[in-house]
Chain A
Amino acid sequence: MIPSDLHYTKEHEWVRVEGDVATVGITQHAADQLGDIVFVELPEPGKRLEQFATFGVVESVKAVSDLFVPVAGEVIESNAALLATPEVVNGDPYGSGWLLRVRLSDPAQLDKLLDAAAYEALTAED
């Protein structure tokens, strides 16, 4: 099920905003499409990202995919646990499989993202 409280990109990232902290991950749909995820490459804290900039890559056994940040901001934290256990992204993409936390710089950017209904419609086309 697609969580209703998140915002989504067309490239299958989600973002959850709590105060000025935005937590970013990939959707269950994306994780399923990629298959067994074996490696995640994430940026160092302090890096500044523009909205929709690539911030890393996620690798499965036979595919590699860019990661796009849904909102601009400075990286607070990357999910270091994924280095040892990337499979968590497959198992719990909206929870412990989160990828990145950024300091939200412009909440208005959320308006450029999809809500759950629009994202669900997008994935239905696949």
Chain B
Amino acid sequence: MVYGPHTPDDRSRMLAALGIGSVDELFAVIPPGVRARPMHLPPGLTELELMARLRTLAGHNRVDLASFLGAGVYRHHLPPVVDQILLRGEFYTAYTPYQPEISQGTLQTIYEYQSLLAELTGLDVVSASHYDGATATAEAALMTCRATRRDRVLVSRGIHPQSRQTLATYFAGANLAFDEVPLVADGPAAGTTDLAALARLLDDPARPVAGVVAGQPNFLGLLEPMPEIGRLAHAAGALFVAVVEPVSLAVLAPPGAYEADIAAGEGQPLGIPPQYGGPYLGILACRESLLRQIPGRLIGMTSDADGRRAYVMTMRAREQDIRRERAASNICTNQALCALAAAVYVAALGPGGLGDVAATGAARAAELAAALADSGAPRLHPGPYLNEFAIRVPDAVAVHRRLLHRGILAGIPLAELEPGDPSLADGLLVCATECTTAEEIELFAWALRDELGVRTGVPVAVSGEARR
């Protein structure tokens, strides 16, 4: 066997002890009619061959492009100390810490993760991880229904479409309802949650609302009026869920400061590589009063029989292995190692370093916005943003493709993420981080100017205005 220790002698010894001649006898219980036919799989590879094939496959991915892709997943400088810690076999080959006496490493690191995220979110209770930002958002919405015993949630269209789709799947299963709150169509607040529409949706006595879900920044990169959204939600007896990006919390007001009851978010920016979608980190935090409603594991500090400080999984009786069909969630395996990555990352950067990451991204994004506007692609929305924004590009999908062939990943065509929204049809969602270089910005701006100039044949500034 490839990774096993057994020699033919070992197997013979075990078979002899069992008094059987062949391992086949141990499978005799499988009814003959349903025994497997031989599997057809490619022959096993040696380690040398395996590594060659993997190198080839990895080489077929293009990770050498000037990338302005974000939308919840960001390219950040990854301090090597993070991965060195993750590669400790004692961490990554451990199971869930069911035996606390020999799991204090995992338990303390997760307790520290909870504490770090409590600082960042301004909320006291942090679950020991969910799958990703989308599922954490769905679980947050479900929490509001359990806590209020209401069955309808309002979700801003400023929440990432994939999170809304995930929420829709979870809600269909739970027979709960949700309505989307539109974004303001134009004017200074364009692209942010429409407060008047929100107020109307909340004002339906026949259909009381359990929770209101809005993002900061929202998925178009814009800052939302979170305090106002929270006030409206609370006035209607609903809970307020803030969907946040964790690096931004080093500089933006935390959910606890604007009275959010629950925070959810994608933890990937905290030291986790993009790796085509996962594993990531679902952040879920809440106020202490909602402690009984939060799904997933919680690690608590306590003491051992000698009075030493020690850590343990706590409030276990809420979870599926004990509460079974009445558990708040079926979550079992979570993203513990990704939570460890996030904790090491935050600790490695410190408060100043994390603030620098957020501020540098904001500075680079402003440079990017200015350069792209000069190239004829002004921002689609006028409101404030941190490090991500949408630009208006005529025929955005085609331009995006042509830029790709010039080595530029020009963000995300919003028409692909939000095909149903004509106001976004000409939008490209672009971002910058501390990893974005001046050269990359220059390349993007130059190529875009070239594309737009060639396509329209008129001065680019005019073409940008003409489409308003």
Q: Which residues of A contact B (CB under 8 A)?
A: 38-39, 41, 59-64
State whether the Cβ of B317 lies closer than 8 Å to any Cβ in chain A: yes
Residue numbers in A under 8 Å from B207 (CB-CB) = none
Residue numbers in A under 8 Å from B316 (CB-CB) = 61-62
Can you give 7 contacting A-B residue pairs, CB < 8 Å? Answer: A39-B292, A41-B292, A59-B317, A61-B316, A62-B322, A63-B322, A64-B322
Give the CA-CA distance A60 to B316 in the complex, in Å: 9
Q: Which residue of A lies closest to B323 (CB)?
A: A64
Give the CA-CA distance A64 to B317 in the complex, in Å: 6
Give the CA-CA distance A43 to B326 in the complex, in Å: 17
Q: Across the A-B interface, give the 6 residue pairs with the lowest CB-CB distance, nearest first.
A: A59-B317, A64-B317, A64-B323, A64-B322, A62-B316, A63-B322
What is the 8 Å Cβ interface bit string for chain B, positions 241-267, against chain A (1 contact, 0 not)? 000000000000000000000000000
What is the 8 Å Cβ interface bit string for chain B, positions 16-30, against chain A (1 contact, 0 not)? 000000000000000
Residue numbers in B under 8 Å from A62 (CB-CB) = 316-317, 322
Residue numbers in A under 8 Å from B317 (CB-CB) = 38-39, 59-64
The size class of the interface chain B forms with chain A is: under 10
B149 to chain A, nearest CB (A): 11
| Listed residue (B317, B318, B323, B326) with the most chain A CB atoms within 10 angstroms of its CB | B317
Give the CA-CA distance A62 to B292 in the complex, in Å: 16
Q: Which residue of A lies closest to B321 (CB)?
A: A62
Residue numbers in A under 8 Å from B326 (CB-CB) = 64
B198 to chain A, nearest CB (A): 30
What is the 8 Å Cβ interface bit string for chain B, positions 310-343, against chain A (1 contact, 0 not)? 0000011110001100100000000000000000
Q: Which residue of B lies closest to A65 (CB)?
A: B317
Residue numbers in B under 8 Å from A38 (CB-CB) = 315, 317
Give the CA-CA distance A62 to B315 in the complex, in Å: 9
Give the CA-CA distance A41 to B293 in the complex, in Å: 12
Residue numbers in A under 8 Å from B318 (CB-CB) = 59
B317 to chain A, nearest CB (A): 4
Residue numbers in B under 8 Å from A61 (CB-CB) = 316-317
Give the CA-CA distance A63 to B319 in the complex, in Å: 10
| Listed residue (A39, A62, A63, A64) with the most chain B CB atoms within 10 angstroms of its CB | A64
Residue numbers in B under 8 Å from A59 (CB-CB) = 317-318
Give the CA-CA distance A38 to B318 in the complex, in Å: 11
Q: Which residue of B lies closest to A64 (CB)?
A: B317
Residue numbers in B under 8 Å from A63 (CB-CB) = 317, 322
B300 to chain A, nearest CB (A): 11
Residue numbers in B under 8 Å from A60 (CB-CB) = 317
B385 to chain A, nearest CB (A): 44
A18 to chain B, nearest CB (A): 32
**Given A41-B292, A63-B317, 17 further pairs, Cβ under 8 A:** A38-B315, A38-B317, A39-B292, A39-B315, A39-B317, A59-B317, A59-B318, A60-B317, A61-B316, A61-B317, A62-B316, A62-B317, A62-B322, A63-B322, A64-B317, A64-B322, A64-B323
A35 to chain B, nearest CB (A): 11
B280 to chain A, nearest CB (A): 31
Give the CA-CA distance A38 to B326 in the complex, in Å: 18
Give the CA-CA distance A56 to B316 in the complex, in Å: 17
